[in-house]
Amino acid sequence: MVAVAGKVVMVTGGRRGLGAALVDEVLARGARKVYSTARSAYLDGRPAVVTAELEVRSAASVAALAEVATDVDVLFNNAGVLVPAPLLAGDLERATDMFDVNVFGLLRVARAFAPILAANGGGALVNMHSVLSWLAGSGAYGASKAAAWSVTNSLRLELARQNTQVVGVHAGFIDTDMVSAMDLPKATPTEIAARIVDGLEADATEVLADDVTVAAKAALSGPVEHLAFSFAR
């Protein structure tokens, strides 16, 4: 179990949306310092927040941040991208970019910071997935999140030897810019962030952050054709 009070936390994609809510949440729970990253430089006036540029598609960018942030205890791998990209008719470059951010970006950050977490006692790695990890119909985005889920499950085994808690987070639709055009029930970033940190501090290996995600996980034991969702609504 990892409590965030007194810890040094990093949130990738922390400038807005769920990432910003995670920064607020860990600060409210007593984090000593929070690195908050974005693709471009920005300011945050709170003394405990250190903003940093990070492009997760770039190994050099990830390595440069790891050289600076050697005191991280808890890492939230939150940076991600959603661009409509059907697997057959969509732009293959869009699909490739989503995998580069959502899967390989997540892995680049995990690889760079695993030794730092180990040196600081193990700590925790929290990876953001999606309910669409389990539901067909969202094209390359869902496929990338399914791959990220698999990566997290393997990282959990590989990082157990260094006493790093690995948490996979699945959530449905959160009221952020990413899904603002979708007319669907959405949770607030604040409530999802609280549930994520609750799970981390309760020693969870997986956080199902809302009812739709709980239902989708339960349906995995049923017929695969029932595991479907369409963005066209």
pLDDT in tens, 41-95: 999 999 999 999 999 999 999 999 999 999 999 999 999 999 888 999 988 999 9
Among 82-91, 108-117, 118-127, 205-214, the range scoring the smallest mean pLDDT is: 82-91
pLDDT at 229: 63
Res. 174 pLDDT band, cuts 50 70 90: confident
Specify whether the CB–CB gap between 58 and 86 falls below 8 A.
no
Specify whether the CB–CB gap between 207 and 169 falls below 8 A.
yes
Tokens 């989503």 belong to residue = 98
Q: CB count, 10 Å around CB of 84? A: 13
pLDDT value at 231 more than 60: no
**Coil, strand, or helix at residue 174?**
strand
The structural domains of the chain, ordered by start, are: 8-226 (3.40.50.720)
Tokens linked to 51: 């903003």
pLDDT at 178: 54
User: Average of pLDDT values for 188-217?
Assistant: 94
Specify whether the CB–CB gap between 197 and 22 falls below 8 A.
yes
pLDDT at 192: 94
pLDDT value at 232 more than 50: no
Would you give the distance in Å from CA 168 to the centre of its chain?
Answer: 8
Q: Determine the Cα–Cα distance for residues 17 and 80; give it in Å rounded to an integer.
A: 11
Q: Which amino acid is at 185?
A: P
The set of long-range contacts for 208-212, using a CB threshold of 8 Å and a minimum separation of 24, is: 208/170, 209/169, 209/170, 209/171, 209/172, 210/131, 210/171, 210/172, 211/172, 212/131, 212/172, 212/173
Q: Determine the Cα–Cα distance for residues 29 and 48; give it in Å rounded to an integer.
A: 12
Specify whether the CB–CB gap between 200 and 2 falls below 8 A.
yes
Res. 230 pLDDT band, cuts 50 70 90: low
Label residue 47 exposed, middle or buried (CB < 10 Å: 0-12, 13-18, 19+): exposed
pLDDT at 187: 83
Q: Determine the Cα–Cα distance for residues 175 and 187; give it in Å rounded to an integer.
A: 6
pLDDT at 127: 98
